[in-house]
């Protein structure tokens, strides 16, 4: 590029020489070079690209320049680019920081000591140095103390105004409370309303209606029918009834015993927009300035909240429990709801118990605090004992048959308990209702055999006497011991009936124990 540029300049110079001589050609050549530099200039106050970088190195001191190292970054805090040949590397001639060419492209006159001077030489500098030298930052003066003083005065005035408005609200609440306590006629009369207004004017002097032809805020003209006049009860000024200009503030009325204010009875008091803003801001400031409640108060508030929930939910649970006990049959439809309510009650009781334990574990500053913590714990324990008893009234749903008992493991050898032969009209039928008791597996077979043998001999003697008494030619089936005859029989004595039942039971138990012994020996 330098070769072609030089060749072009030479050609232009030859042309100028041909036209007007050598001297005139030299002047034209300098004009062309200056015009090319001006065209490539970044800005009116920036470093020229056409100018060779480093031409100003010998004009100012470079002892304060930052040395370049591998991995160095641009000194502009917002840039942070790693300096390389692509980004360009340059030292600000004034502050000496290493920067990329983008953030070190400004021009400033510097003296030999690298200080800004009107008689110095043009050098490459950064934006910060230009701003400091040209007074962009300007001379500063700290007004923090003056601002803090003015702010303190404003805040103090706002707090005093808020306190004054709150006192007026309390006085107006007392006025409305006394007015409501006086016996009122059946129909509200103008005289009674006038008496209330006269009492309100004892707190704040009202502005005369003739002095306020327009609304203070919206500038509407007052009339007898269109726009009525309303007096602010807190400042006495006249405003209109639009929501943008005035509002009704709900103020709690004082109690009859003068021990505070009621939470249910309130009075509506007219207030202008500015007074309403003062009241709201003052109350917000009081709420923000209020310290956080100690842990004891928070835990006790949690206990009281759970007590209220239990007292609201427990009667519903008791009603459902009584209804479920009166229902007989399959699972009643109210059972899932009752179980859900019981779960909620159990969770509430658990939270109350945990909160009382935390209260007992709190550090006690004195013996009085310790007694208070213990009293709260006792109160919660008594409450739990009193209200947790109804939770046991809920009936349990019927259990489904176990899958292990209902599964079939294939055909087994018939045993007296798995198959009972029932003789009905001369035919044998199987009764699947017989099942093996779970308690049989816990019987010691060796210890039970002598007892069963003695009972078997007794039952055999009883059955022999029974057979002798009924031996009238009737044929017996081989399964007479296990079978129960449903056909009509002659009446038996009590001894015969007991002996037959004992014989059947002993025979069945012997068969079961023998089968258990056999299967355990064979490893089934």
What mean pLDDT value characterizes the chain? 71
For 112-148, how does the pLDDT look when each residue is reduced to its tens digit (9 = 90+)?
888 888 888 888 888 888 888 876 555 677 889 999 9
Question: Which phi and psi angles does 318 have, rounded to 5°?
Answer: -65, -40
Lowest mean pLDDT, pick from 22-36, 72-86, 178-192, 282-296: 22-36
Q: How far is CA 446 from CA 451, 519, 523, in A?
A: 10, 15, 18
- Given pLDDT bands bounded at 50, 70 and 90, which one contains residue 259? low
Q: Which residues pair with 108 in a beta bridge?
A: 123
Kindly report the CA angle at 113 between 110 and 118, in degrees rounded to 5? 30
User: Is the predicted pLDDT of residue 20 greater than 70, yes or no?
Assistant: no
Tokens of 431: 């009764």
Cα–Cα distances in Å, from 246 out to 90, 175, 229, 437? 67, 21, 11, 86
Residue whose pair of structure tokens reads 């048959």 in the numeric block: 401
* Mean pLDDT, range 6-25, rounded to an integer: 44
Nearby residues of 143 by Cβ (< 8 Å), 6 or more positions away: none
Mean pLDDT value across residues 50-68: 75
Q: How confident is the model at residue 61 (pLDDT cuts 50, 70, 90)?
A: confident
Q: How far is CA 384 from CA 107, 224, 354, 390, in A?
A: 85, 67, 12, 11
CATH number of 51-134: 3.30.40.10
Task: Assess whether pLDDT exceeds 60 at residue 450.
Answer: no
Rg of the chain, C-alpha, whole Å: 54
Contact call for residues 103 and 81 (beta carbons, < 8 A): no
To the nearest 10°, report the CA torsion of 126, 128, 132, 134.
60
Per-residue confidence at 448, pLDDT binned at 50, 70, 90? very low
The least confident of 223-237, 253-267, 290-304 is 253-267
Residue 393 has pLDDT above 80, yes or no: no
Three-state secondary structure call for residue 109: strand
Of 2-16, 73-87, 350-364, 399-413, where does the model show the most confidence? 350-364
Q: How confident is the model at residue 330 (pLDDT cuts 50, 70, 90)?
A: low
pLDDT confidence band for 511 (50 / 70 / 90): low
- pLDDT-derived band at 25, boundaries 50, 70, 90: very low
Mean pLDDT of 363-373: 86
With pLDDT > 70 as the criterion, what percentage of the chain qualifies? 60
Q: pLDDT tier at 453 (50, 70, 90 boundaries)?
A: low
pLDDT at 496: 58
Say how far apart CA 239 and CA 272 lie, in whole Å. Answer: 7
Q: Where are the domains of the chain?
A: 1-39, 51-134, 152-180+193-289, 295-325+334-393, 418-466+478-486+496-522
Q: How many CB atoms lie within 10 A of CB 146?
A: 10
Which pLDDT score, from 0 to 100, does residue 356 have?
A: 93
State mean pLDDT over 72-77.
87
CA distance 121 to 109: 5
**Dihedral of CA 338/339/340/341: which sign?**
positive
Q: List own/partner pairs for 4-9 with CB under 8 A and 24 or more apart.
A: 9/33
> Residue 247: pLDDT above 70?
yes
Alpha carbons 174 and 261: distance in angstroms, whole number: 10
Q: Furthest-apart CA pair in the chain: how many Å?
A: 171
Which region among 156-170, 189-203, 354-368 has the lowest average model confidence (pLDDT)? 189-203
pLDDT exceeds 80 at position 28: no
pTM of the prediction?
0.35
Instruction: Return the CATH fold of 152-180+193-289.
Output: Herpes Virus-1 (3.30.40)
Contact residues for 233 (Cβ-Cβ < 8 A; gap 6+): 168, 172, 200, 203, 204, 269, 270, 271
pLDDT by residue (tens digit) across 425-439?
Answer: 444 444 443 343 433
Distance CA 524, CA 516 (A): 10
Give pLDDT, residue 286: 78
Higher pLDDT: 509 or 158? It is: 158
Considering 45-54, 344-353, 358-367, 502-511, the range whose residues carry the highest mean pLDDT is 344-353
Residue 468 contacts residue 493 (beta carbons within 8 Å): no
Interval 182-211 mean pLDDT: 81
């Amino acid at each position: 590029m330098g070769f072609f540029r030089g060749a072009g300049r030479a050609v232009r110079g030859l042309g100028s020489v041909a036209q007007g001589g050598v001297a005139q050609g030299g002047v034209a050549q300098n004009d062309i070079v200056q015009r090319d530099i001006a065209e490539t200039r970044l800005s009116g106050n920036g470093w020229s690209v056409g100018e060779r970088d480093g031409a100003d190195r010998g004009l100012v001191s470079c002892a304060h320049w930052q040395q370049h190292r591998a991995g160095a970054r641009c000194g502009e805090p917002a840039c942070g680019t790693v300096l390389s040949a692509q980004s360009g590397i340059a030292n600000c001639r004034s502050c000496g920081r290493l920067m990329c060419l983008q953030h070190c492209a400004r021009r400033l006159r510097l003296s030999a000591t690298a200080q800004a001077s009107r008689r110095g030489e043009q050098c490459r500098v950064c934006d910060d140095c230009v701003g400091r030298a040209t007074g962009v930052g300007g001379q500063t003066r700290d007004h923090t103390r003056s601002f803090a003083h003015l702010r303190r005065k404003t805040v103090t005035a706002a707090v005093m105004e808020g306190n004054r408005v709150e006192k007026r609200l309390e006085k107006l609440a007392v006025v409305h409370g006394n007015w409501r306590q006086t016996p009122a006629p059946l129909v509200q009369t103008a005289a009674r309303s006038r008496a209330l207004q006269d009492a309100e004017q004892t707190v704040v002097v009202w502005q005369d209606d003739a002095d306020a032809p327009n609304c203070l805020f919206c500038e509407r003209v007052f009339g007898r029918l269109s726009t009525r006049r309303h007096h602010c009860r807190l400042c006495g000024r006249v405003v209109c009834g639009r929501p943008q200009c005035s509002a009704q503030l709900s103020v709690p009325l004082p109690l009859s015993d003068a021990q505070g204010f009621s939470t249910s009875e309130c009075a509506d008091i007219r207030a202008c927009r500015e007074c309403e803003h003062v009241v709201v801001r003052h109350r917000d400031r009081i709420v923000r300035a209020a310290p956080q409640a100690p842990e004891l108060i928070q835990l006790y508030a949690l206990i009281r909240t759970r007590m209220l929930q239990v007292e609201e939910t427990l009667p519903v649970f008791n009603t459902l429990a009584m209804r479920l006990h009166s229902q007989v049959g399959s699972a009643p439809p109210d059972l899932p709801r009752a179980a859900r309510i019981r779960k909620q009650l159990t969770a509430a009781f658990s939270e109350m118990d945990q909160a009382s334990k935390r209260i007992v574990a709190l550090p006690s500053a004195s013996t009085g605090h310790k007694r208070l913590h213990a009293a709260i714990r006792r109160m919660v324990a008594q409450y739990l004992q009193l209200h947790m008893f109804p939770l046991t009234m809920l009936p349990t749903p019927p259990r489904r048959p176990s899958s292990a008992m209902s599964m079939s493991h294939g055909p087994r050898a018939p045993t007296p308990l798995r198959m009972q032969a029932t003789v009905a009209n001369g035919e044998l039928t199987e009764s699947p209702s017989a099942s093996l008791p779970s308690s049989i597996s816990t019987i010691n077979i060796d210890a039970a055999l002598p007892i069963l043998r003695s009972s078997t001999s007794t039952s055999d003697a009883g059955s022999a006497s029974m057979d002798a008494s009924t031996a009238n030619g009737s044929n017996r089936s081989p399964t007479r011991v296990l079978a129960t005859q449903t056909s009509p029989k002659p009446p038996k004595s009590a001894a015969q009936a007991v002996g037959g039942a004992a014989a059947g039971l002993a025979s069945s138990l012997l068969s079961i124990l023998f089968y258990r012994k056999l299967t355990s020996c064979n490893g089934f």
